[in-house]
Amino acid sequence: MGVNLKAIVSHEPIDFEDLKGRVIAIDALNSLYQFLASIRQPDGTPLMDSKKRVTSHLSGLLYRTVRLVQIGIKPVYVFDGEPPELKKKEIEERREMKEEAEYEWEKAKREKRLEDAKKFAMRTSRLTEEMLNDSKNLLDYMGIPCVQAPSEGEAQCVHLCIKGDAWAVGSQDYDSLLLGAPRLVRGLTLSGTFELSIVHLNKVLKELNLNREQLIDIAILVGTDFNEGVKGIGPKKALKIVREGRLDEIRKELDFDFNAVKEIFLNPKVTDEYRIEWNLPDKNSVVEILCGEHDFSEDRVKKAIGNLEKSMREFSQKGLSEWL
């Protein structure tokens, strides 16, 4: 879910043309959950193959990635590893919320309330190990690089940017700013649901007259994936507290380890063991996994991969240094 800093973080609207020639590290799970939530039938039922296996994530991954590459963006998908211990409570709460949403979804379907049904269905999305493996295999066959993070995917995205292997993080969440991402691109959905914009960390810190540690302090007060926020404190109030130097008095009343949460953002678990390389797609393997295994339209898939291959050939004429 990430931390809500929208009220105090300035966004700069951009066009996709501004991202042409850029390597963007994309939080894979963030994207896959978007696909699972949005690519559904009118009653909220996700896309499925003949064996009743969910395929919404594969559809979204194929067509969005092809369009990003056609625009001139070089995506790198980063997958989560083992979550930090402090996140496990949040994961359990999400599981309970999904179970409640599933009950309401079924009830709305029985009562023919399609609008409510789709609303509740969007909250039930689950990613299985099989779905994750299919997603990684599809990207590999498409010639798109994947990076396996040892822990939080967004932290690894930031690490790629800091090392110079990516230009920006692509995510809807603000966590990457707390982790030190120089640039955050929001709205890569191509759907019009979210405005395409960029957030520059240095600009945000300058405007707020803060350093990154203070921005992390604000986020912890508001609430992160690793701690509940302080009741009654939103981004603007948290900003005022930090600016006025009142953080210590509030920390005395907290029932969680403030420093432990902060440490996750200051010293995240990342790895240098990855390889980023774009290749021409393996058309036959893409057709096999999507059409042979999951009943996708062969004509549509072949057309999409043809467009991808054309764009990839254009990429291959340039050195990687031109895309950073």
pLDDT the model gives residue 322: 47
Query: Could you give phi then psi for residue 56, rounded to 5 degrees?
Result: -55, -40
Cα of first residue to Cα of last residue in the chain, in angstroms, is 28
Q: By three-state DSSP, how is residue 99 classified?
A: helix
Q: Which residues contact 194 (CB under 8 A, 6 or more apart)?
A: 172, 186, 187
Q: Is 133 exposed, middle or buried (0-12, 13-18, 19+ CB in 10 A)?
A: exposed
Domains and CATH numbers, the chain: 12-205 (3.40.50.1010)
pLDDT the model gives residue 87: 74
Q: Is 70 exposed, middle or buried (0-12, 13-18, 19+ CB in 10 A)?
A: middle
Angle subtended at Cα 48 by Cα 43 and Cα 52, rounded to the nearest 5 degrees: 105
Residue with tokens 């966004």: 11
Q: What per-residue string of b and e applies to 230-262 under the rule 16 or more CB within 10 Å gives b?
A: beebbbeebbebbeeeebeebeeeeeeebeebb
Nearest CA-CA partner of 225 in 186, 181, 175: 175
Q: By three-state DSSP, how is residue 149 classified?
A: coil
pLDDT the model gives residue 38: 86
Q: Note whether 308 and 302 are within 8 A (CB).
A: no
User: What separation in angstroms does the CA of 244 have from each of 177, 178, 210, 249, 312?
Assistant: 22, 20, 12, 11, 52
Eight-state DSSP code of residue 122: T
pLDDT the model gives residue 107: 76
pLDDT the model gives residue 320: 42
Angstrom distance (rounded) from CA 153 to CA 173: 12
| Token couple for 210 | 């803060």
Nearest CA-CA partner of 312 in 66, 134, 26, 17: 66
Q: Note whether 72 and 20 are within 8 A (CB).
A: yes
pLDDT the model gives residue 105: 66
User: Per-residue pLDDT for the chain (324 aa), expressed as one digit of tens each?
Assistant: 678 899 999 999 999 999 999 999 999 998 998 899 888 888 888 899 999 999 999 999 999 999 999 999 999 999 999 988 877 676 676 666 777 777 676 777 787 787 777 776 666 778 899 999 999 999 999 999 999 999 999 999 999 999 999 999 999 889 999 999 999 999 998 766 678 999 999 999 999 999 999 999 999 999 999 998 899 999 999 999 999 999 998 998 888 899 999 999 999 999 999 999 999 999 999 999 999 999 999 999 999 999 999 999 887 665 544 444
